[in-house]
Amino acid sequence: MKNLFKAIPVGVMSVLMILLVSYLSLDPDPLGKQELQLFAGADKVGHFLLYLVTACVFISDYAKFKLPHHTTLNLELLFMCCAMLLGLLMEIGQLILSNGRAYDVIDLVANCLGAATGFAWMHWRGLHKMRRWLLRSGYHHRHHHHRH
């Protein structure tokens, strides 16, 4: 599993995450279980977790690109905002498409809280663990801007 993570080119996980979020947000019945409610608010928890993971993936891709250098807080925050913007765009998409999915401001709040939590976790814990693991295992992203 570790080798798979290292082998995936920078950006691929973010693109796959955007595709997954788009599918889950815009398909009329993405999980094939119309109106299955595990517990009250289960869909809000799902929104929160999906965008927590989305922010973590975006920030991880950025950190992997920056290795061996550290990330900057401003760009970590930018990627958190990108995850939040994706959540907003998906809610607007649901409003526009009229495919049985509905815009919900509480979903948007859950998306943003999830992205913020993903940022916080990555900033204070996740990035340190990821850098240490990648650098210890000899991973080094090579920047492609050589001067000749």
Predicted pLDDT of residue 118:
97
Q: Considering the domain boundaries, does residue 145 fall inside one?
A: no
Chain segment 73-125, per-residue pLDDT in tens: 999 999 999 999 999 999 999 999 877 788 899 999 999 999 999 999 999 99
Q: Considering the domain boundaries, does residue 142 fall inside one?
A: no
User: For residues 76 and 67, what is the distance between their CA atoms, to the nearest angstrom?
Assistant: 14
Q: Considering the domain boundaries, does residue 132 fall inside one?
A: yes
Q: Considering the domain boundaries, does residue 87 fall inside one?
A: yes
Domain that holds residue 13: 2-29+40-136
Q: Considering the domain boundaries, does residue 53 fall inside one?
A: yes
DSSP-based three-state secondary structure for 67: coil
Number of domains in the chain: 1
User: For residues 112 and 105, what is the distance between their CA atoms, to the nearest angstrom?
Assistant: 11
Q: Considering the domain boundaries, does residue 144 fall inside one?
A: no
Question: Residue 46: is its pLDDT beyond 70?
Answer: yes
Q: Considering the domain boundaries, does residue 148 fall inside one?
A: no
Question: Residue 3: is its pLDDT beyond 50?
Answer: yes
Q: Considering the domain boundaries, does residue 123 fall inside one?
A: yes
DSSP-based three-state secondary structure for 122: helix
**Rounded to two decimals, what is the model's pTM?**
0.86
Question: Residue 144: is its pLDDT beyond 60?
Answer: no
Q: Contact at 8 Å (CB) between 79 and 92?
A: no
Tokens found for residue 37: 């409610």
> Tokens 């950190």, residue?
63
Q: Contact at 8 Å (CB) between 59 and 80?
A: yes
132: left (phi over 0), alpha (psi -120 to 50) or beta: alpha
